[in-house]
Amino acid sequence: MFKKAIGQSYKAGLPPGSLVHVGELKSDTTEVTVCEYDKDFYRENKTSEPEECLSLLEKEAVVVWVNLDGLADIEMLQRIGDFFNLHRLTLEDILNNEQRPRQEAYENYTYVVLKALVYNDDQNRIDTEQVSIVIGGNYVFSACERKTELFDTLRKRLASDKSGIRKKGADYLAYAIMDIVVDGYFPVLEKVSGHLENLEELLLEKPEEKNLHAVHRLKREMLGMRQAVWPLREALIGLEKSDSIFIQTDNAFHLRDVYSHTVQIIETAEIYREILSGLLEIYLSSVNNRLNEVMKILTIFAAIFIPLTLISGIYGMNFAYMPELNWRYGYPFSLGLMAAVAIFMLLYFRRKKWF
């Protein structure tokens, strides 16, 4: 996640406004799904001629949702952009998958970028995928970086209309899309939470360097996540405050709901980062403690054996007159002396509570 944070997101020298892919192209197909509905009917079809089936756009009561899965086909994007009369900058932004989450009010539509998060289990990494949403009078145009199942349940809800979603306008549809993307953050955080608890146990149990590196990596993922989610907060505030005619006040409650979830995500991610910092401290103090242990063992060994060695050295001296050497029990005496010293030292360290 981190690596792409800056990626190739520049095209210095090119005229601002040329349609090229910026950042990694994650899919080489492009699939257009058009859903049309009002409270009485629902039609959904995959097409390569989106213009044709957009004829209903003129009827005000009908909501049209055009979704693009995969951005490989720049020409198709251009056609849709022309159809909805989108600003060239918007099309560029859709093709640049390194946008900061934000909203921008244009004259005839509102443009929202946000990031879907996907936990990559194989590499223990959080991947981001950019979701662009264009909200017009009675249409929503959304674009994802690759084929995704995120919106399948939403289409089912539209088809069955149990919750009366079809009675509501395009802005409610846009809200539902944002809600799905933001709700998708929770399972990612939960994976992180599990990973975190795992690491915590490992570190407290045996503080190995590789666990430290895992903490470091997780911290970086949280930094990347903050970068992906934090700006969304401002964008949602901006969306609510804007007097955009495309957002009806009725749906302000819903927006605030998404906002509240976003803030909760951010706060939780911050808390995870603080806990990770705490883990580093724990790790460092564990390493210090082990050093202490090692040094204690060394000291105990040295302090016990060095005096004994001295005793053996003394009785190994070659003086002509050393009375002990000729004692009958000189040898056992010297061994006893050594044992006494050793026991004394052991008691000394025991009293110091070293073991």
CB neighbours (10 Å) of residue 101? 23
Residue 273, token pair as written in the block? 């980062």
Looking at the Cβ atoms of 60 and 190, the one nearer to a copy of itself is 190
Output the smallest distance, CB 55 to a copy of itself, in A.
29
Looking at the Cβ atoms of 41 and 331, the one nearer to a copy of itself is 331
Looking at the Cβ atoms of 13 and 75, the one nearer to a copy of itself is 13
Looking at the Cβ atoms of 26 and 100, the one nearer to a copy of itself is 100
Instruction: Work out whether the CA dihedral 25, 266, 149, 51 comes out positive or negative.
Output: negative
Residue 141: φ, ψ to 5°: -120, 120
From CA 35, how far away is CA 20, in angstroms rounded? 27
Looking at the Cβ atoms of 87 and 125, the one nearer to a copy of itself is 87
- Vertex 78 angle, CA 76 and 82, to 5°: 120
Output the smallest distance, CB 134 to a copy of itself, in A.
14
Output the smallest distance, CB 52 to a copy of itself, in A.
30
Looking at the Cβ atoms of 58 and 107, the one nearer to a copy of itself is 107
From CA 74, how far away is CA 94, in angstroms rounded? 10
Number of C-alpha atoms within 13 angstroms, CB side, residue 293? 6
Looking at the Cβ atoms of 38 and 104, the one nearer to a copy of itself is 104
Element of type H or E holding 212: helix 209-241
Looking at the Cβ atoms of 47 and 155, the one nearer to a copy of itself is 155
Output the smallest distance, CB 127 to a copy of itself, in A.
16
Q: Which of 21, 88, 83 is nearest to 47 (CA)?
A: 83
Looking at the Cβ atoms of 25 and 287, the one nearer to a copy of itself is 287
Strand 139-144 with 63-69, pairing: parallel
Output the smallest distance, CB 103 to a copy of itself, in A.
11
Looking at the Cβ atoms of 36 and 166, the one nearer to a copy of itself is 166
Measured in whole angstroms, how far is the alpha carbon of residue 32 from the centre of its chain?
Answer: 29
Residue 19, token pair as written in the block? 């349609």
Output the smallest distance, CB 150 to a copy of itself, in A.
8
Q: Which of 294, 230, 275, 195 is nearest to 101 (CA)?
A: 230
Output the smallest distance, CB 196 to a copy of itself, in A.
10
* Per-residue exposure over 216-241, b if at least 16 CB sit within 10 Å of its own CB, e if not: ebbbbbbebbebbbbbbeebbebbbe
Residue 209, token pair as written in the block? 């360097």
Output the smallest distance, CB 49 to a copy of itself, in A.
28
Output the smallest distance, CB 121 to a copy of itself, in A.
17
Sheet arrangement for strand 125-135: 42-47, 31-37, 63-69, 139-144, 125-135, 110-120, 102-105
Output the smallest distance, CB 330 to a copy of itself, in A.
5
User: What DSSP assignment string belongs to 241-257?
Assistant: HS--TTS-GGGHHHHHH
